[in-house]
Structures are given as C-alpha cells and as structure tokens.
Structure 1
Amino acid sequence: MTLQKKEKNELLEWLKAIVVTVVFVIGIRTFIFTPILVSGESMMPTYEDGDRVIVNIIGKQISGLERFDVIVFHTTEETNYIKRVIGLPGDHIAYKDDVLYINGTPYDEPYLDAYKAQLMGYGTLTQDFTLEDLANVSTIPEGYLFVLGDNRVNSTDSRDPRVGLIAIDTVIGKANIRFYPLDHIGIVK
C-alpha cells in the first residue's frame, strides 16, 4: 500500500468517525438531553439567573410528569420558561395564608423555606388565590398543568393570564441537573 493511499484511508476513517459523532450528539440533544440557560430570578433559590441546566427530554415519556417536578416548556417559538409543576389534570389548587392546598389537602413546599424564613412573620410569600380566581375553572383540565416559579414574588407563571394553565404538549422536559456554575453542580429537587 502506498503512503498516499494509506493517508487517504486514514482521512476517510477520521471523516467517518466525525460524522458518526456529530449524528450521535445531535441525536442525544434532540431526543434525550438538552442544555438550557436559566434567565431571570423566577426560580430562585432553586435556580439562579445564569445557571446552566440539563433538561431531560426523555424523562417525561419514561416516568411522566409529577407534582413538584421542575420543567421547561415553550411559551412562544423563541421563549422557554422553567417552572415547578404544582397542579396536575383533575386537581383543584388554592393558596391560603401562604399554604398550598391541592384538592383541599395542605402541602409542604420545602424548597420555599429559605424565602419564608426571610419574611420573619411579616407578610406572605404567595398571595391567596384559588384556581377559579385565576383560570375560571374548578379543576385543571385534562392535558394541562398549573406551574409556579419558586420566587413567588417575582415569577411570571400560571397566575399570570399571559401564561395561565400550560398545555402538557408544550413541555420540553424535566430540569433537575445543574452543570454550571461549577461549585453548584448536581441534581436539584
């Protein structure tokens, strides 16, 4: 085999490896995981502005969406939001005296404890509301979710008529792995 033919074969092998790698990466980003940049303060203290998060796209198909999952969903063609699932289809949601009630049962929200402690007994983190007040329905319809940001004072979420109840088919996936900043890498709940 001549040197020129050997170099040509080696180049062809490298090209094949690069093409396979590119196809593999695109497949993973499209069907399994995709990175996003958190923009804004609506999910503080869980996620800070500038955090980089991996969205598990396939997780919603495998395990479904569950209450208190942090999800990313499309709001427009260019815009995605990151919020926490509070209400599932068939649920009635209400807030009274800073306590979440789902179908009349009070629920703890430990991810809000840091913010509630800062209030030191003055005021509430989440203003009182009922699903009827916000969406003019008594229960969340099939195919929809009720979502809230963890920073309840500064979040555009299902309480805002521009967002409202979100269609499940707009959900990209679950956001539970932070990979930047490096000192905060890990699984987030």
Structure 2
Amino acid sequence: MLKLCTAIANLEIWSQDKDEKINVECCYNLTQNRYTNMDVTERTHESNSLWFRLVFGANPAITLIRAAVLFGVSMFLFTVVVIPIRVQGISMLPNFRDNSIHFVLKIAYLKNRPQRGDIVAVKFIGNKIALLKRVIGLPGEKLSIKDGIVYINGEPLEEPYVKFKRARWNFPETVLRNDEYFVIGDNRSMAMEAHSFGAVNFSRIIGKLLL
C-alpha cells in the first residue's frame, strides 16, 4: 500500500522501559490518518531484505540459474552415472542384507570389463528388475559346481566371501562365450532352485557396486 507522508515530526513520547521521555521521528500517514514510526518501518524493511538476500542471494536471477544447473547435474548423476539398487532376497547374505540399499556405478565398465569377484547389478528378468550378484566366471572359461564347490577350468575356486555352510549344489560344466560372465550370490546355503544365478551377457550388466 502506498503511504502518503505529508509531514515528518519529532514526537516526544514517554518510554515505560526507560522511564523517560524520548524523541521518535514520525511520518504522518494520510491513508491511515496517523503517525507512523519511520525507524520501525525502515528496520522491518531491512529485516525483510536480509531474509530475501539469505534465500535468493544478492542476485536472484543468478541464484535461480545455479539452482537449475544443480538440479540438472543431480538428475544426470543419479540416472546416467550412479543409480540406487535395493537388495531383494537373501542370496547375498551375509555380506548384503535383504532390503538394504546400495549404489551402482553405471560407467564402471566403459573402458574395462568385469573382473572375478566384482559385485554387479544384473538385469535378470526383462529390463526393470535388477539383482545384485558376484562375478565368478569370465569369458572363455569352463565353469562347473560339484557338491557346492565352484570349479574354474577344472580347478576349485577360492571364495572367502562365502561365509555360510555350502549346500550340495551341482551344476554341469559350461563354457562361457566371449561376451558372457557367470554371476552368483554369496549365500550358498540356500536351495539351488531358489537361487538366481548363471551365465549372463555383458549387455545385461548394469554396473559395478560402489563400496
């Protein structure tokens, strides 16, 4: 609201706090037909300006541009570079618990290929469901499982990450193709029929787990 000020005067009023008379610079406001304390008005305006600067900065336009850039970078980071993944089930126990959330680096294999022992996110069912698994077999290798022990090219594979007692899994020898990796969970105590594992094409590996 526009204030019409016709006169500025120093009014002498009694201060109850100080128990004395004080002078207050006032402006007579025609719209409200009363005197307005100019000092209080100026302080209120300064206070509002301070909060505005704290929120939007000295230059609101630049602040909005920065916020837009930050939002764009965040969206790019969490859709193209890194994605969250929730562990579903008990196949990775005890190293990764059911419903725990982790982050996968999607660009981990732009130049390099997965190595044995890597924990990766794999598209097992269609393109929407991803599972967390460990790479144990590499392209060109012969892999089999006998009584729960994994064999690579006829030699038993050391797996210190397998903590639970192994069930007697048996899987016939298979030769991995040039672009295939064998992935499996760390929990070998569960029934083999309830465990999703096997050879997957490199194109189905989303990325590597960020530890």
Q: TM-score under structure 1 normalisation?
A: 0.72
Structure 2 portions without partners, runs of 5+: 1-48
Q: Deviations over 1:70-94 (max 9, x none)?
A: 1002231221111111111101111
Letter in 1 for 2:170: D
Map 1:23-102; keep pairs closer than 5 Å: 23-75=72-124, 76-102=126-152
Superposed CA RMSD in Å reads: 2.2
Letter in 1 for 2:79: T
Give 1 or 2 for the bigger CA radius of gyration.
2
CA distance in 1, matches of 2:153, 2:203: 24
User: Deviation at 1:9?
Assistant: 7.6
More helix, by proportion = 1
Q: TM-score under structure 2 normalisation?
A: 0.65
Deviates more, 1:74-83 or 1:8-17: 8-17
Corresponding position of 2:183: 147
Q: Which has the higher contact order (CA 8 A, sep 6+)?
A: 1
Letter in 2 for 1:86: I
More strand, by proportion = 2
CA spacing shift, 1:70–1:8, aligned 2, 3 Å:
closer
CA distance in 1, matches of 2:113, 2:68: 33
Percentage identity across aligned positions? 29
Q: Which residue among 142, 156, 171 is the counterpart of 1:106?
A: 156
Letter in 2 for 1:50: N
Corresponding position of 2:4: none
Structure 1 portions without partners, runs of 5+: 117-123, 132-137, 159-164, 178-189
Q: Are the equivalent residues in 2 in contact too, given 1:71–1:83 (CA < 8 A)?
A: yes
Between the two proteins, the alignment pairs up a number of residues equal to 153
**Does 1:169 find its partner at 2:211?**
no
Q: Are the equivalent residues in 1 in contact too, given 2:57–2:63 (CA < 8 A)?
A: no
Letter in 1 for 2:182: F
